[in-house]
Structure 1
Amino acid sequence: MTVAKSFCDGVGCSQPGLVLQQPTHTFDHSKPILKRFPLILYLASFGSMGYENCLLFESLVRQGYIVACVSSIGRYPGEMTMKNADLMEQVTDANQILNRLKHDSRIDTTNIGLLGYSWGGLAGALLAMQRQDIDAVVSLDGSEVYHYGYTKSEDLDFGQIVTTPFFKKAVLSAPYLRLESATNVKTSKKDSTYNFLSKVRASKRVIKIDSAEHQDFSSLPTVVRSSGNCSVPKTYRVIATYTIAHFNRYLKSGTSATK
């Protein structure tokens, strides 16, 4: 209830009880289809869990994907920070989960995609640079494209991440799509941006969604607004459409991306 209240307060709509009663399209103990499906591994944003993008997961499942989520909790006892060691804890968790899932008979191990939001976008990029079995990457306003100048401590933490021996040498070889919010130039304090795109050696595409703020890349604002019968912008639908199109293009043969 406390978490639901924080969502309602942030969006300025609905009530906690209505959010918790909002129906989903997910069914417990549903009978699985006996065939193999491509896998999408999701890496959650800073300190968050997978439910932050539950609507997108349901859309991906309807498209014929299996979705697995990797929480962002950092090192024991789970106090997430921007330190490299906490970031790499999520990457290590994702590696272990992916290695385990590759033994699941329902997984098409020849078609694996990574999806990350915010800090999870950076974790996903690191995971994809470590492995050769990733076939497509989508970053939802991911922190791998970092804007310096907001706080000195965060700048220092990110600087330590990108100057590690691994990061300096590694490249991303999987097709990469970045969906990003529009920065308000008048209020932005950034003085420079880390150019992650220089590390992408495969097809790369950046789409700026000018109606989106950073929090709009989570499904939670849409869930809250829907539960309170408030106006729901089309922004999240656009984000989901581009995400699905990218994965369909590279993980499903014979399927072209949305124009």
Structure 2
Amino acid sequence: MDSSLSVPFYRMQPSAKPAISWYMKTPLTTLFTLLIFSAFGQVSLNNIGLTPGEYAVGFRHFTVHDSSRTYQRVGDWTNEHSPRPIPVSLWYPAQPTPATPLQVLDYYRILAEEDEWEYLPDEFLLNWFDYPNTAQNRAHLQEPTTARANAAPLSGNFPVVIYAPSLRASSIENFALCEWLASHGYIVLASPSRGADNKHFEGATLKDAATQARDLQFLLAKVHAFTGQEQPKIATLGFSFGGLSQVLAQAQHQDIQAMVSLDGSNKYQYYKLEPSPFFDVQDFDIPFMHLSQKDIPREVMLADGIDTTLNSQFEFFDQLTHAEAYHFKFTNLTHAYFSTLGVLFQTRDPRQDKPDPAIMVAYRQACEYALQFLQAYLRDDAQALAWLQGAAHHQAGILPMSTKTPVATGITFQDFHERAAADGYQNLDALWEEIKGQQPSFQIPEGRLNNLGLQLMFNPQTSQDGILILEFATRLYPNSANLFDSLAEAYLFADQRSQALAAFEKSLVLDGGNTNALQRIQQLTE
């Protein structure tokens, strides 16, 4: 996979308004903050209150191309296909500059550009992209942020965070969090979520997740080119559908060392990952943190046709065995408010949403949790780890749902196979007994033995090895009609007809409905 790399930095319109401030550490100050907001505040970046860290923040937006894939712009109404464009938003620690910070409007223009409406006049931006054109939302567009466009990057070694946005969303949807992380010494990369062939998704399918995962892998491959960092520690941070895609990306890219899920779809649509040939939850072994939305009221779920198990079910987390993992529930946030754009612009749902001051405090808390997790696992910060495991549990509006420590891996099927192959697949029963003595809980799934035996059997150079594996499998699972059927096919492939006939007959005894065995017996006895 290569790219034609040109970096035309996005030119932003300046703004000059004061920097933001932040405080909130204990339930008492949380309550005090809510009272203050109720009396004097409204939704704004300033009132979210993310206090910047020690670094100035630079921002760049540019487009690169993945020439291994093609793409078609929908609105051009032509048959032209081009190498897949990947717009990139980049936040980074920067050298201090007197330049005027970006406005929210500058980010919104990027949203329009990434949605292929780069010439859309500013006056149409709000209604065009789902958010109402109200006086308050127009005021949000004029708010200053903490980033400076094209500021000179600061030299140094900084961890990298790759942000995966929600379904068909812009790279800038969580710009306040991305800026804040950069101010604390992180380089943050993000690209929009788009479909495989054009900007439209199929419908949140596995193909869509695989497409976004491949975009994330493209960014991972270009980390050095984009950031200048040599082998930095890397984490991913995904919101909503991006939370699903980042899991698939990690299954194929071992450079990802930690993962944050902002109410990610790994909780709600885990079943979409299971058919992927690349994903096995037992291979997921990196630190993981999931921040969940509040419980949705049952009457809202019924009215909106939402599965009523959504509040409690979390199959992906439940199946994690080799990862250090955390799950927290934010009782003042519904799904949309895990993003900056959601907090600022999303129309509130009067049936379930909390008051604006509570939403802003909770969003700030979510950002704080993300930062502490990254500090703990990308910077080996013992104080951050202690905060995450202890003091954090006492914050108002947050419920610690579950914490997991990795289970020792022990002996695996791969270990069994490597030892068996080293011995020429001889003495498999003795090897089995030896391993069981070392690890009494060790089991070999029937399907893995069947798959391995067939893989070996169809290779002319290892056919007899396949037969030995399948013979062992039938001794381990003597009531498996499928294994005897596979063993019979292996014998037949090796032209051992009498053994094949006996194995097919055994399979038919175990499963009288095995039509393949019946047909093979007829062929062998004609």
TM over 0.5: yes
> Is residue 34 from structure 1 mapped to residue 161 from structure 2 by the alignment?
no
> Could you tell me how far 1:22 is from its partner in structure 2?
1.5
1:155 paired residue number: none
Following TM superposition, the consecutive aligned residue runs of length 4 or more in structure 1 with deviations greater than 3 angstroms are: 5-8, 102-106, 158-161, 191-194, 221-225
1:253 paired residue number: 380
Say which is worse superposed, 39-48 or 162-171, in terms of deviation: 162-171
Per-residue displacement from partner, 1:82-131 (whole Å, max 9, x unpaired)?
Answer: 12212111111110111111355632524111000000000111112222
Query: 1:36 touches 1:106 (CA, 8 Å); kept in 2?
Result: no
> Is residue 236 from structure 1 mapped to residue 363 from structure 2 by the alignment?
yes
- Following the alignment from structure 2 to structure 1, what is the Cα–Cα distance between the partners of residues 307 and 230? 42
Match 1:119 to one of 231, 235, 241: 241
Distance 1:106 1:36, change over 3 A: farther
2:286 paired residue number: 174
> Is residue 141 from structure 1 mapped to residue 263 from structure 2 by the alignment?
yes
> Could you tell me how far 1:185 is from its partner in structure 2?
4.3
Which TM-score applies when normalising by structure 2? 0.43
> Could you tell me how far 1:23 is from its partner in structure 2?
0.9
Counting matched residue pairs gives: 243
Secondary structure at the aligned position of 2:222 is classed as helix
Say which is worse superposed, 125-134 or 59-68, in terms of deviation: 125-134
Per-residue displacement from partner, 1:219-253 (whole Å, max 9, x unpaired)?
Answer: 1144449xxxx954311101100000000001113
- Following the alignment from structure 1 to structure 2, what is the Cα–Cα distance between the partners of residues 213 and 13? 24
Distance 1:42 1:105, change over 3 A: closer
- Following the alignment from structure 2 to structure 1, what is the Cα–Cα distance between the partners of residues 281 and 373? 27
Which TM-score applies when normalising by structure 1? 0.84
> Is residue 190 from structure 1 mapped to residue 307 from structure 2 by the alignment?
yes
- Following the alignment from structure 2 to structure 1, what is the Cα–Cα distance between the partners of residues 173 and 200? 18
Secondary structure at the aligned position of 2:383 is classed as coil
Report the identity percentage.
26
Distance 1:66 1:200, change over 3 A: farther
Distance 1:180 1:86, change over 3 A: same
- Following the alignment from structure 1 to structure 2, what is the Cα–Cα distance between the partners of residues 205 and 169? 16
Counterparts of 1:54-133 in structure 2 under 5 Å? Answer: 54-80=175-201, 81-103=203-225, 106-107=228-229, 109-133=231-255
> Could you tell me how far 1:37 is from its partner in structure 2?
0.8
Distance 1:105 1:191, change over 3 A: closer
Query: 1:175 touches 1:203 (CA, 8 Å); kept in 2?
Result: yes
Say which is worse superposed, 38-47 or 132-141, in terms of deviation: 132-141
> Could you tell me how far 1:19 is from its partner in structure 2?
2.6
Per-residue displacement from partner, 1:20-71 (whole Å, max 9, x unpaired)?
Answer: 2211111012121111210000001000012110000111001100000021
Query: 1:110 touches 1:133 (CA, 8 Å); kept in 2?
Result: no
Letter in 2 for 1:190: D
2:94 paired residue number: none
Say which is worse superposed, 237-246 or 247-256, in terms of deviation: 247-256
Query: 2:234 touches 2:378 (CA, 8 Å); kept in 1?
Result: yes
- Following the alignment from structure 2 to structure 1, what is the Cα–Cα distance between the partners of residues 373 and 170? 23
Distance 1:108 1:183, change over 3 A: farther
Query: 1:39 touches 1:109 (CA, 8 Å); kept in 2?
Result: no
- Following the alignment from structure 1 to structure 2, what is the Cα–Cα distance between the partners of residues 220 and 15? 10
Query: 1:37 touches 1:106 (CA, 8 Å); kept in 2?
Result: no
Letter in 2 for 1:98: L
2:338 paired residue number: 217
Secondary structure at the aligned position of 2:136 is classed as coil
Distance 1:256 1:47, change over 3 A: same
- Following the alignment from structure 1 to structure 2, what is the Cα–Cα distance between the partners of residues 214 and 169? 24
- Following the alignment from structure 2 to structure 1, what is the Cα–Cα distance between the partners of residues 204 and 283? 22
**Higher RCO structure, 1 or 2 (CA under 8 Å, sep 6+):** 1
Letter in 2 for 1:21: Q
Per-residue displacement from partner, 1:204-229 (whole Å, max 9, x unpaired)?
Answer: 0000001110011011144449xxxx
2:24 paired residue number: none
- Following the alignment from structure 1 to structure 2, what is the Cα–Cα distance between the partners of residues 144 and 206? 12
- Following the alignment from structure 1 to structure 2, what is the Cα–Cα distance between the partners of residues 87 and 144? 11
Query: 2:281 touches 2:316 (CA, 8 Å); kept in 1?
Result: no
Distance 1:179 1:112, change over 3 A: same
- Following the alignment from structure 1 to structure 2, what is the Cα–Cα distance between the partners of residues 23 and 77? 33
Provide the alpha-carbon RMSD of the alignment: 2.5
Distance 1:23 1:224, change over 3 A: farther
2:446 paired residue number: none
Q: Which ranges in structure 1 are unaligned for 5 or more consecutive residues?
A: 148-157
> Could you tell me how far 1:255 is from its partner in structure 2?
4.7
Letter in 2 for 1:43: A
- Following the alignment from structure 1 to structure 2, what is the Cα–Cα distance between the partners of residues 43 and 129? 15
Letter in 2 for 1:20: L
1:48 paired residue number: 169
Query: 2:285 touches 2:323 (CA, 8 Å); kept in 1?
Result: yes
> Could you tell me how far 1:160 is from its partner in structure 2?
4.8
Secondary structure at the aligned position of 1:177 is classed as strand
